[in-house]
């Protein structure tokens, strides 16, 4: 059987990821390959590490992209620092906190959960009380919870964690490059992200950075890291001065990440954060003017990902299908406890543009009027247009 030339439809990606890839990144991905130990590629690797340190706001020596998606970053962050029987405290207020619990349990950790309702955030006092009750080697939380749209305040948390002698692990998948992330100033020991969100590159790499404190814990492991592929004691020898072969790096994706980081820093981190906030605020205000309810209070609302409550009795999948089929716009439904209850709208990286926000809002208004969630407009005869079937 012969297959036609690949020609997927053009979509405006306004979901929780992947976001739209910046045109400069797409162009660089046509660059010819060199070998993964070629001197020219080794220089590119070094440049990527320097750029990542700038975007993470860190001086950590051990800063590199894991070959794999954000979930590979999560697994590497846990697998390298947890040994069987270790006590860990995981803050769970959404789907990806749950995923960390699952991974940690598979590593035979003694998992303690600090829970908040989905869409809420944690305080340093809660974490302090939990650590008094269950001392832990590692405390993990999600900075930007993609399932709920909540942005976790970080001030004071590292002080509490370090006072108890633990490491602080933070998921920055939906925050890096879109909202402020200060790894060193916040005292984060282990942070990971993904290329497909606010960095506006394709999925496939998980940027990570490890503090000297965490490096020392890694050196003192009594057992081997259970994943050979994600073992940082091996991977760092490829990304470090030794340049020892570990695996064949995804060369084109490294090109893409390098260019994506250049785009971020050319725009300027502070300016980029302001752009994401400005476009998110336009979205929030306009959605509320349409009578839609946002899940997270504005104080803790994540600019890169907004959750909107589905009106009671409304078929949320119908609206998403109409947006995709009639307007080429992708948004997402809810996960886990929010399944069928929310829409998730992402404004990340290249997708965070005023023009896309206005297009989405116009499309939403048209569909909601057709479905009688909003009053119908009068037609040319002064009569209401006919609604569509839900």
Q: Determine the pLDDT at residue 371.
A: 79
The verdict on 198 and 175 lying in the same domain is yes
Q: Determine the pLDDT at residue 379.
A: 57
Give the C-alpha distances (Å, rounded to integers) separating 243 from 38, 112, 254. Answer: 11, 38, 16
The verdict on 259 and 279 lying in the same domain is no
Quote the number of domains for the chain: 2
Tokens of 177: 């490059």
* Domain assignment present for 387: no
Q: Determine the pLDDT at residue 386.
A: 52
Closest CA to 117 of 341, 359, 364: 341
* Domain assignment present for 9: no
What is the Cα Rg of the chain in Å?
22
Q: 305 CB contacts (<8 Å, ≥6 apart)?
A: 16, 144, 146, 149, 174, 344, 345, 346, 347, 348
- Condensed to tens digits (0 to 9), the pLDDT of residues 29-85 reads 999 999 999 999 999 999 999 999 999 999 999 999 999 999 999 999 999 999 999
Q: Determine the pLDDT at residue 2.
A: 85
The verdict on 251 and 346 lying in the same domain is no
The verdict on 194 and 277 lying in the same domain is no
230 is in which domain, residue-wise?
A: 23-265
- How long, in residues, is the chain? 390
* Domain assignment present for 182: yes
Asked if residue 342 lies in contact with residue 353, where contact means CB atoms within 8 angstroms, the answer is no
* Domain assignment present for 69: yes
Distance between CA atoms of 348 and 7, rounded to whole angstroms? 24
Residues of the chain with pLDDT under 50: 387-390
* Domain assignment present for 171: yes
The verdict on 220 and 197 lying in the same domain is yes
- Condensed to tens digits (0 to 9), the pLDDT of residues 174-199 reads 999 999 999 999 999 999 999 999 99
The verdict on 65 and 157 lying in the same domain is yes
The verdict on 251 and 297 lying in the same domain is no
The verdict on 250 and 322 lying in the same domain is no
pTM metric for this prediction? 0.94
Q: Of 241, 265, 289, which closes a domain?
A: 265
Q: Which helix (H) or strand (E) holds 263?
A: helix 251-267
The verdict on 167 and 56 lying in the same domain is yes
| CATH code assigned at 341 | 3.90.1150.10
The verdict on 115 and 147 lying in the same domain is yes
| CATH code assigned at 258 | 3.40.640.10
Q: Of 265, 293, 318, which closes a domain?
A: 265
* Domain assignment present for 377: no
The verdict on 144 and 223 lying in the same domain is yes
The verdict on 173 and 95 lying in the same domain is yes
Distance between CA atoms of 44 and 61, rounded to whole angstroms? 16
Phi, psi of 285 (to 5 degrees): -60, -40
């Amino acid at each position: 059987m012969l297959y036609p030339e690949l020609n997927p439809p053009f979509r405006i990606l306004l979901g929780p990821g992947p976001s739209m890839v910046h045109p400069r990144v797409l162009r660089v991905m046509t660059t010819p390959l060199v070998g993964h130990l070629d001197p020219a590629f080794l220089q590119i690797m070094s440049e990527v590490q320097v750029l990542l340190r700038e975007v993470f706001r860190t001086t950590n020596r051990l800063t590199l992209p894991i070959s794999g998606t954000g979930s590979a970053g999560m697994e590497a962050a846990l697998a390298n620092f947890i040994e069987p029987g270790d006590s860990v405290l995981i803050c769970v207020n959404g789907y990806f906190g749950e995923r960390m619990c699952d991974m940690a349990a598979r590593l035979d950790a003694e998992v303690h959960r600090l829970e908040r309702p989905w869409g809420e955030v944690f305080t340093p006092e809660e974490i302090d009380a939990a650590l008094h009750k269950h001392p832990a080697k590692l405390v993990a939380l999600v900075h930007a919870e993609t399932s709920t749209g909540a942005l976790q305040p970080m001030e004071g948390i590292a002080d509490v964690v370090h006072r108890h002698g633990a490491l602080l692990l933070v998921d920055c998948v939906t925050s890096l490059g879109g909202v402020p992330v200060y790894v060193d100033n916040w005292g984060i020991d282990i942070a990971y992200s993904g290329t497909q969100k606010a960095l506006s590159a394709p999925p496939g790499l998980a940027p990570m950075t490890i503090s000297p404190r965490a490096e020392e814990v890694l050196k003192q492991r009594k057992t081997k890291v259970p994943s050979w592929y994600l073992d940082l004691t091996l991977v760092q020898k490829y990304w470090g001065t030794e340049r020892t072969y570990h695996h064949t790096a995804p060369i084109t994706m490294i090109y893409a990440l390098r260019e994506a980081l250049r785009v971020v820093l050319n725009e300027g981190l502070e300016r980029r954060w302001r752009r994401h906030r400005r476009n998110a605020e336009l979205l929030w205000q306009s959605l509320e003017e349409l009578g839609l309810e946002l899940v997270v209070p504005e104080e803790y609302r994540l600019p890169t990902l907004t959750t909107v409550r589905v009106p009671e009795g409304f078929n949320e999948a119908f609206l998403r299908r109409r947006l995709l089929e009639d307007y080429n716009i992708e948004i997402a439904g809810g996960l886990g406890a929010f399944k069928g209850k929310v829409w998730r709208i992402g404004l990340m990286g290249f997708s965070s543009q005023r023009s896309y926000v206005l297009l989405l809002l116009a499309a939403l208004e048209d569909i909601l009027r057709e479905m009688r969630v909003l009053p119908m407009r009068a037609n040319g005869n002064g009569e209401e247009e006919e609604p569509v079937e839900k």
